[in-house]
Structure 1
Amino acid sequence: MNPDLQGKAALVTGAARRVGAEIARRLHAAGADVVIHYRGSGADAAKLEEELSALRPRSAHRVKADLLAPIAPRALVEAALAQFGRLDILVNNASAFYPTPVGGIEATHWEELIGSNLRAPLFLAQEAAPHLAKQAGCIVNIVDIHAERPLKGYTVYSVAKAGLAGLTRSLALELAPSVRVNAVAPGAIAWPEDGQFEPAERARIVATTPLARVGEPEAIARAVHFLATAPFVTGQVLAVDGGRSVFL
């Protein structure tokens, strides 16, 4: 792979597993040093740190933080600076995802889903912005195709991701010209591990995806890498969904 991120440092939230881990691997393979944020997946984070450090010594560092805690954004940015001395890329990937049908929504659902999907990215971006500006850096937010058209039964999640798409565009204006801000909107990328979607629903999703399959985490990682290295792209939300948003 072309080492187009050589000498740069990236902070990826929710990076211990699944899509986040693949993003961390991709940026690392392109030459970046990587801060692996995690909350509960400590063993997975340690394994990923070991994997990446074996490829390039002292190039990966794991940091535990609860993104719902007000101190988390500053702590994460300070950890990245302490470890690598700079910050070039912030990837807001961490996300809570579960159904909240109207009639059963509780305040705790709102606080967690808005907190992880919208509030944390905002305050991480704000904390990181001065340091990203020094490096002409960038922010990549992981949104969702349902930011545009809500997912039935997932009201609060859909609202949170719609807010994150709006935040992406707003930050692109606020932080220009020093920092670029974009987002990736995944479609069906690896099914949730908790069985939220029944087999019939999974079949329906695949049937309404023009490429007729579920995507792999690598597809999102490739898109993040592209946006991290595209010098004249900002304020954009890139759908990576096998064409499914055409049907929504």
Structure 2
Amino acid sequence: MTVTYDYTGKSVLVTGGTKGIGVGIARAFREAGADVTICARHEQAVPGTERGPGVGRIRFVRADVRVPEDVERLVSGFDRLDVVVNNAGGSPYAPLAGTSPRLHARVIELNLTAPLLVAQSAYPLLAAARGAIVMIGSSSGARPSPGTSAYGAAKAGLHHLARCLAAEWAPDVRVNTVVVGLAATESAGDHYGDQGDGGLGAAIPAGRPATPADVAQACLWLAAPGYVTGAEIRVDGGGEVPHWRHLAAAPSPASGPSRRGSSDAPDA
């Protein structure tokens, strides 16, 4: 079964929509007929600017969503706004000990404060259109995130922010979160080394990391008119395989090639 969406005539803002998951989301809304605006701190080539039957366009606006003045300028360029996808985010690998307090502050600004500023500024237009906000969260905000503690804490805050806004702005604006697990993007190597999709897939029940298209499909659904608000939709392929599962399946010197099925296993 194929699910299709029609966003013809709708105006969509995707922050950080120039690469990775963001550009996948922007293209998906464009292919569904929306006029899409993407933003980033630096000028970028804009993918998909050509028009076609039933296809919208993508335009680029330079803006740093951590800066209130930039956010106000960005949103003031809309006459109508139906959907905001707060996608801009990320963090370098930065263990807490020995790293700059300013680095951690900037990570929190980008991943938590910036989505708050964008949502606040966009609210009047979204309310007029009975629109929707989709926050791009992370599994790092739902489990320990060693090496990216500030990022994980900010994403946990983002998940809570979405629930708060969903309650505060209902029924005029729906607010939901897509909680993304391990994802295959051009920046994945910065975090996971040269393991590639195969290496990451071994840690995921579904056998592969999420793609930008997987995340985009969840965004298309959550942004469409409906009842769901304040929800967290996990796009993580079933989570991450815990280490005890590997231990349980590993050869045991006492019992042979596998511990599975041993006579001393506990009853189900």
TM-score over 0.5 for the alignment?
Answer: yes
CA contact 2:49–2:59 (8 Å) conserved in 1:
no
| 3-state SS, counterpart of residue 84 of structure 2 | strand
Residues 1:220 and 2:222 are matched in the alignment:
no
| 3-state SS, counterpart of residue 43 of structure 1 | coil
Amino acid corresponding to residue 66 of structure 2 in structure 1? L
Tell which has more relative contact order, 1 or 2 (C-alpha 8 A, sep 6+): 1
CA contact 2:86–2:136 (8 Å) conserved in 1:
yes
When Rg is computed on C-alpha atoms for both structures, the one with the higher figure is: 2
Distance 1:184 1:3 in 2: 18
TM-score for both structures, normalised by structure 2: 0.82
Which of 183, 186, 193 is the equivalent residue of 2:180? 186
For 1:142-153, what aligned pairs fall within 5 Å after superposition?
142-153=136-147
Distance 1:115 1:103 in 2: 20
Which of 58, 61, 73 is the equivalent residue of 1:60? 58
Amino acid corresponding to residue 162 of structure 2 in structure 1? T
Deviations 1:129-166 (A, max 9, x none): 11100011000000001111022111101001001001
TM-score for both structures, normalised by structure 1: 0.88
* Residue of structure 1 in register with 2:10 after alignment: 8
Shift of 1:96: 2.7
| Bigger shift: residues 52-61 or 90-99 | 52-61
Distance 1:160 1:229 in 2: 27
Distance 1:31 1:201 in 2: 33
Amino acid corresponding to residue 63 of structure 1 in structure 2? V
Give ranges in structure 2 of 5+ residues lacking alignment: 244-268
* Residue of structure 1 in register with 2:238 after alignment: 243
Amino acid corresponding to residue 222 of structure 2 in structure 1? L
Shift of 1:23: 0.5
Amino acid corresponding to residue 205 of structure 2 in structure 1? P
| 3-state SS, counterpart of residue 36 of structure 2 | strand
* Residue of structure 1 in register with 2:204 after alignment: 209
* Residue of structure 1 in register with 2:68 after alignment: 70
| 3-state SS, counterpart of residue 27 of structure 1 | helix
Deviations 1:85-118 (A, max 9, x none): 2000000001131122121232211221111100
| 3-state SS, counterpart of residue 196 of structure 1 | helix
* Residue of structure 1 in register with 2:83 after alignment: 89
Distance 1:66 1:36 in 2: 12
Q: 1:230 to 1:150 in 2, by over 3 A?
A: farther
Shift of 1:58: 7.6
Amino acid corresponding to residue 55 of structure 1 in structure 2? G
| Bigger shift: residues 31-40 or 114-123 | 31-40
| 3-state SS, counterpart of residue 122 of structure 2 | helix
Distance 1:195 1:120 in 2: 23
| 3-state SS, counterpart of residue 4 of structure 1 | coil
| Bigger shift: residues 92-101 or 124-133 | 92-101
| Bigger shift: residues 57-66 or 109-118 | 57-66
| Superposition RMSD in Å | 2.2
Distance 2:50 2:127 in 1: 27
Give ranges in structure 1 of 5+ residues lacking alignment: none
* Residue of structure 2 in register with 1:33 after alignment: 35
CA contact 1:20–1:93 (8 Å) conserved in 2:
yes
* Aligned-pair identity (%): 37
Shift of 1:43: 3.4
| 3-state SS, counterpart of residue 99 of structure 1 | coil
Distance 1:34 1:243 in 2: 30
Shift of 1:125: 0.4
* Residue of structure 2 in register with 1:170 after alignment: 164
Residues 1:109 and 2:106 are matched in the alignment:
no
Shift of 1:245: 4.9
